[in-house]
Chains A and B, each alone.
Chain A
Amino acid sequence: MEFAELIKTPRADNVVLHRPFHAAVEGTLCLTGHHLIFSSRRHDNTEELWLLHSNIDSCEKRFVGSLGTIVIKCKDLRIIQLDIPGMEECLNIASSIEVLSTLDSVTLLYPFFYRPMFEVLEDGWRSFLPDQEFELLSSATDEWRLSCINKEFSVCPSYPPVVIVPKCITDEELRKVAMFRHGSRFPVLSYYHRKNGMIMMRSSQPLTGTNGRRCKEDEKLINASLRPGKRGYIIDTRSLNVAQQARAKGGGFEQEVHYPQWRRIHKGIERFNILQESLIKLVEACNDQSHNMDRWLSKLEASNWLTHVKEILTTACLAAQCIDREGASVLVHGTEGTDSTLQVTSLAQIILDPRCRTIRGFESLVVREWLQAGHPFQQRCAQSAYSNSKQKWEAPVFLLFLDCVWQILRQFPCSFEFNEQFLIMLFEHAYASQFGTFLGNSESERAKLKLPQKTMSLWSWVNRKEELSKFQNPIYEANSLVIWPAVAPQSLQLWAGVFLRWNRPSQYLEEAQEEMVKIIKYNKELQDKVKVLRRHLAEMEAAERVQGHL
Chain B
Amino acid sequence: QVEQVKLLDRFSTSNKSVTGTLYLTATHLLFIDSSQKETWILHHHIAAVEKLPLTTSGCPLVIQCKNFRIVHFVVPRERDCHDIYNSLLQLSKTAKYEELYAFSYNPKQNESEQVKGWQLIDLAEEYKRMGVPNAYWQLSDANRDYKICETYPKELYVPRTASKPIIVGSSKFRSKGRFPVLSYYHKNKEAAICRCSQPLSGFSARCLEDEHMLQAISKANPSNRYMYVMDTRPKLNAMANRAAGKGYENEDNYSNIRFQFVGIENIHVMRSSLQKLLEVSGTRGLSVNDFLSGLENSGWLRHIKAVVDAAVFLVKAIAVESASVLVHCSDGWDRTSQVCSLGALLLDSYYRTIKGFMVLIEKDWISFGHKFSDRCCQLDGDPKEISPVFTQFLECVWNLTEQFPQAFEYNEVFLLQIHEHVHSCQFGNFLGNCEKEREELKVKEKTYSLWPFLLAEQKKYRNPLYNPDFLPELTLLEPNTVSFNFKFWRNMYHQFDRSMHPRQSVLNLIMNLSEQNKQLEEDIKELEAKIKQRNGQSDVVLVKEHQQSAHPAPVALKTPPCFKKEQPPIPGNDAVRTIEGSNTADNRYSELVSEFSKAEPAVVSLEYGVARMTC
A interface residues (Cβ-Cβ under 8 A, vs B):
233, 263-267, 286, 289, 291-298, 300-301, 304, 306-307, 309-310, 314-315, 317-318, 321-322, 325-326, 410-415, 475, 479, 481-484, 486-494, 496, 500, 503-505, 508-509, 511-512, 515-516, 519-520, 522-523, 526-527, 529-530, 533-534, 536-538, 540-542, 544-545, 547-549
CA distance A504 to B480 in the complex (A): 8
* CB pair B288 A544 closer than 8 Å: no
Which 8 pairs show the lowest CB-CB distances between chains A and B? A548-B545, A489-B291, A512-B405, A296-B483, A301-B292, A297-B296, A325-B596, A526-B520
* CB pair B520 A326 closer than 8 Å: no
* CB pair B599 A325 closer than 8 Å: yes
Q: Which of B141-149, B219-227, B445-453, B496-504 sits within the interface?
A: B496-504
Interface residues of B in 266-290 (CB under 8 A from A): 281, 286-290
* CB pair A482 B589 closer than 8 Å: yes
CA distance A42 to B517 in the complex (A): 43
Of chain A, the residue at the smallest CB distance from B526 is A533
Q: Mark B488-521, 1 if CB is under 8 A from A, else 0.
A: 1010011000011111111001100110110011
CA distance A490 to B545 in the complex (A): 65
Chain A nearest Cβ from B560, distance in angstroms: 7
Say whether B524 faces chain A, with CB atoms less than 8 Å apart. yes
Say whether B305 faces chain A, with CB atoms less than 8 Å apart. yes
Give the chain A neighbours of B556 by CB distance below 8 A: 538
Q: Give which listed residue, B281, B531, B613, contacts A540 with CB less than 8 A.
A: B531
Give the chain A neighbours of B542 by CB distance below 8 A: 544, 547-548
Chain B nearest Cβ from A406, distance in angstroms: 12
Interface residues of B in 470-498 (CB under 8 A from A): 480, 482-488, 490, 493-494
Say whether B406 faces chain A, with CB atoms less than 8 Å apart. yes
* CB pair B520 A491 closer than 8 Å: no
* CB pair A286 B484 closer than 8 Å: yes
Q: Give which listed residue, B286, B541, B560, contacts A489 with CB less than 8 A.
A: B286
What are 10 inter-chain pairs, A to B, with CB distance below 8 A? A297-B292, A415-B504, A475-B509, A488-B499, A508-B406, A509-B405, A523-B517, A529-B520, A533-B524, A537-B527
Q: Which of B95-103, B152-160, B571-579, B604-612 sits within the interface?
A: B604-612
Give the chain A neighbours of B611 by CB distance below 8 A: 267, 314-315, 317-318
Say whether B243 faces chain A, with CB atoms less than 8 Å apart. no
Give the chain B neighbours of A492 by CB distance below 8 A: 288
Q: Give which listed residue, B301, B484, B521, contacts A526 with CB less than 8 A.
A: B521
Give the chain B neighbours of A264 by CB distance below 8 A: 615
CA distance A504 to B482 in the complex (A): 9
CA distance A344 to B302 in the complex (A): 36
Chain A nearest Cβ from B542, distance in angstroms: 6
| Interface band, chain B | 35 or more
Give the chain B neighbours of A548 by CB distance below 8 A: 542, 545-546, 548-549
* CB pair A317 B524 closer than 8 Å: no
* CB pair B483 A486 closer than 8 Å: no
The DSSP consensus for interface residues of chain A is helix
CA distance A540 to B537 in the complex (A): 12
Give the chain A neighbours of B524 by CB distance below 8 A: 526, 529-530, 533
CA distance A540 to B30 in the complex (A): 56
* CB pair A306 B292 closer than 8 Å: yes
* CB pair A411 B502 closer than 8 Å: yes
Q: Give which listed residue, A266, A515, A527, contacts B520 with CB less than 8 A.
A: A527
Of chain B, the residue at the smallest CB distance from A309 is B288
Chain A nearest Cβ from B465, distance in angstroms: 5
* CB pair B295 A297 closer than 8 Å: yes
Q: Give which listed residue, B302, B501, B517, B608, contacts A484 with CB less than 8 A.
A: B608
Say whether B35 faces chain A, with CB atoms less than 8 Å apart. no
CA distance A525 to B173 in the complex (A): 66
Given A296-B484, A545-B555, 6 other A-B residues pairs in contact with their CB atoms under 8 A: A325-B597, A325-B604, A410-B502, A475-B506, A491-B501, A534-B560
* CB pair A292 B527 closer than 8 Å: no
B interface residues (Cβ-Cβ under 8 A, vs A):
11, 281, 286-293, 295-296, 299, 301-302, 305, 403-407, 464-465, 467, 480, 482-488, 490, 493-494, 499-506, 509-510, 513-514, 516-517, 520-521, 523-524, 527-528, 530-531, 534, 538, 541-542, 545-546, 548-549, 555-556, 560, 562, 566, 582, 584, 587, 589, 592, 596-597, 599, 604, 606-611, 613-615
Q: Give which listed residue, B305, B500, B613, B614, contacts A486 with CB less than 8 A.
A: B500
* CB pair B296 A412 closer than 8 Å: no
Give the chain B neighbours of A481 by CB distance below 8 A: 584, 587, 589
Give the chain B neighbours of A291 by CB distance below 8 A: 482-483
Q: Give which listed residue, B500, B509, B514, B517, contacts A488 with CB less than 8 A.
A: B500
CA distance A487 to B605 in the complex (A): 13
Chain A nearest Cβ from B507, distance in angstroms: 10
Give the chain A neighbours of B499 by CB distance below 8 A: 486, 488
Of chain B, the residue at the smallest CB distance from A482 is B589
* CB pair A519 B604 closer than 8 Å: no
CA distance A541 to B538 in the complex (A): 10
Give the chain A neighbours of B599 by CB distance below 8 A: 325
* CB pair A413 B530 closer than 8 Å: no
Knowing A508-B403, A523-B516, A545-B549 are in contact, say whether A301-B296 is a contact too (CB < 8 A). Answer: yes
CA distance A107 to B491 in the complex (A): 52
* CB pair A326 B610 closer than 8 Å: no
CA distance A345 to B380 in the complex (A): 56
Give the chain A neighbours of B513 by CB distance below 8 A: 519-520, 523
Give the chain A neighbours of B305 by CB distance below 8 A: 293
CA distance A538 to B548 in the complex (A): 15
* CB pair A504 B615 closer than 8 Å: no
CA distance A511 to B467 in the complex (A): 10
Give the chain B neighbours of A537 by CB distance below 8 A: 527, 530-531, 534
Give the chain A neighbours of B545 by CB distance below 8 A: 544-545, 547-548
* CB pair A527 B506 closer than 8 Å: no
Chain B nearest Cβ from A331, distance in angstroms: 15
Q: Give which listed residue, A266, A479, A487, A493, contacts B608 with CB less than 8 A.
A: A487
Q: Give which listed residue, A298, A413, A511, A541, contacts B502 with CB less than 8 A.
A: A413
* CB pair B490 A490 closer than 8 Å: yes
CA distance A547 to B597 in the complex (A): 63
Chain B nearest Cβ from A491, distance in angstroms: 5
Q: Give which listed residue, A292, A307, A411, contacts B287 with CB less than 8 A.
A: A307
Give the chain B neighbours of A484 by CB distance below 8 A: 589, 592, 607-608
User: Which residue among A267, A301, A415 has the maximum number of chain B CB atoms within 10 Å of its CB?
Assistant: A301
* CB pair B527 A530 closer than 8 Å: yes
* CB pair B490 A533 closer than 8 Å: no
* CB pair A491 B490 closer than 8 Å: yes
Give the chain A neighbours of B500 by CB distance below 8 A: 486, 488, 490-491
Give the chain A neighbours of B494 by CB distance below 8 A: 490
CA distance A187 to B204 in the complex (A): 83
User: Which residue among A263, A293, A300, A503 has the maximum number of chain B CB atoms within 10 Å of its CB?
Assistant: A293
CA distance A325 to B606 in the complex (A): 10
Give the chain B neighbours of A292 by CB distance below 8 A: 302, 483
CA distance A523 to B592 in the complex (A): 33
* CB pair B483 A265 closer than 8 Å: no
CA distance A73 to B530 in the complex (A): 64
CA distance A482 to B406 in the complex (A): 33
CA distance A7 to B305 in the complex (A): 49
Knowing A293-B302, A530-B523 are in contact, say whether A307-B289 is a contact too (CB < 8 A). Answer: yes
* CB pair A411 B503 closer than 8 Å: yes
* CB pair A298 B549 closer than 8 Å: no
Give the chain A neighbours of B299 by CB distance below 8 A: 293-294
Chain B nearest Cβ from A364, distance in angstroms: 24
* CB pair A519 B288 closer than 8 Å: no
Give the chain A neighbours of B592 by CB distance below 8 A: 484
Give the chain A neighbours of B485 by CB distance below 8 A: 504
User: Which residue among B301, B403, B405 has the maximum number of chain A CB atoms within 10 Å of its CB?
Assistant: B405
Give the chain B neighbours of A490 by CB distance below 8 A: 281, 286, 291, 488, 490, 493-494, 500
Give the chain B neighbours of A493 by CB distance below 8 A: 487
CA distance A536 to B524 in the complex (A): 12
CA distance A512 to B517 in the complex (A): 18
CA distance A34 to B314 in the complex (A): 50
